């Protein structure tokens, strides 16, 4: 297929080999983006790149990297910093597990923090600086709906996704004056291979809660098109979230007080 003229630049997607990341690759290629696909599995990346090039004519670059490894993370930071054609970053890479905290392997917990928090932060930083300098760009961070009910998730995973929400909403405010659009996507339960990798039996989940990865990505991109900073693709009525936000904001005035609360005197 002859490649069409490119007007949208390149989108770099982490965790692109399967699941949500692969669906972002599919949708963004069809929207006219060339892609830089980043993940650990070279064979899966190559197969995805070949299929998308055949279907869309977009240019594909495959970069095999484990973002929990410092040198490989620095390689992706350098790409974001040095390639002026990159106009979008999708920080999708992340993982969880279902092992109770006291039984979990400490190294696995550290790796989860390294990927879900450290890598996302460093790549966001590299992209934000490049995009702000060019006065244009889109940064998407994939979080999780567990931020509204952290007890549903692994302790470290829930904490890491709370970080993604708070981090993203703050940098969104900083980057908006520089022409950079920032979005955090907060999925509910999404049918991907991640459930099996985390050791969770999806058959135990209530009926009607599992969304397809394709629907999730389509909803997230619709939220991006509408200019949302925080997107809950599965939440029909966002008034409950807005009420929670209003209550949180009102509570701030009660937290920042010079006097100790009377119940502690």
Q: What residues are annotated to the active site?
A: 157
Contact 202, 210 (CB under 8 A): yes
R_g of the chain, CA atoms, integer Å: 19
pLDDT at 181 over 50: yes
Residues forming beta bridges with residue 13, ordered by sequence position = 37, 90
Domains and CATH numbers, the chain: 10-237 (3.40.50.720)
Query: For the chain, how far is it from start to end, CA to CA, in angstroms?
Result: 75
Average pLDDT along the chain: 92
Cα-based distances in Å from 155 to 34, 94, 96, 105, 124: 37, 15, 9, 13, 24
d(CA 106, CA 94): 17
Per-residue pLDDT at 196: 58
3-state secondary structure of 16: coil
Judge whether 139 and 182 are in contact, CB under 8 Å. yes
Order of all β-strands in the sheet with 60-64 = 60-64, 34-39, 10-14, 86-91, 137-142, 180-185, 230-231
pTM over 0.75: yes
Q: Which residues contact 66 (CB under 8 A, 6 or more apart)?
A: 40, 72
Convert the pLDDT of each residue in 18-63 to its tens digit.
999 999 999 999 999 999 999 999 999 999 999 999 999 999 999 9
């Amino acid at each position: 297929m002859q490649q069409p003229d490119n007007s949208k630049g390149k989108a770099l997607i982490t965790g692109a080999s399967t699941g949500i990341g692969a669906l972002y690759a599919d949708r963004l290629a069809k929207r006219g983006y060339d892609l830089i696909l980043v993940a650990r599995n070279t064979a899966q990346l190559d197969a995805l790149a070949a299929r998308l090039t055949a279907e869309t004519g977009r240019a594909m670059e495959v970069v095999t990297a484990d973002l929990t490894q410092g040198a490989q993370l620095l390689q992706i930071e350098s790409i974001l910093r040095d390639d002026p054609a990159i106009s979008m970053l999708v920080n999708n890479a992340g993982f969880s597990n279902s092992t109770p905290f006291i039984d979990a392997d400490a190294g696995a917990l550290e790796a989860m923090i390294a990927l879900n928090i450290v890598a996302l932060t460093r790549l966001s930083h590299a992209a934000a600086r490049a995009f702000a300098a060019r006065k244009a760009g889109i940064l998407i961070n994939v979080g999780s709906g567990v931020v509204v009910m952290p007890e549903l998730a692994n302790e470290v995973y829930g904490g890491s996704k709370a970080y993604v929400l708070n981090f993203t909403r703050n940098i969104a405010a900083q980057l908006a004056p520089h022409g950079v659009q920032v979005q955090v996507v907060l999925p509910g339960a999404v049918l991907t291979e991640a459930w099996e990798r985390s050791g969770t039996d999806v058959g135990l989940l209530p009926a009607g809660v599992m969304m397809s990865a394709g629907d999730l990505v389509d909803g997230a991109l619709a939220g991006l098109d509408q200019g949302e900073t925080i997107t809950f693709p599965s939440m029909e009525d966002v008034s409950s979230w807005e009420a929670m936000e209003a209550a949180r904001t009102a509570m701030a005035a009660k937290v920042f007080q010079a006097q100790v609360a009377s119940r502690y005197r």
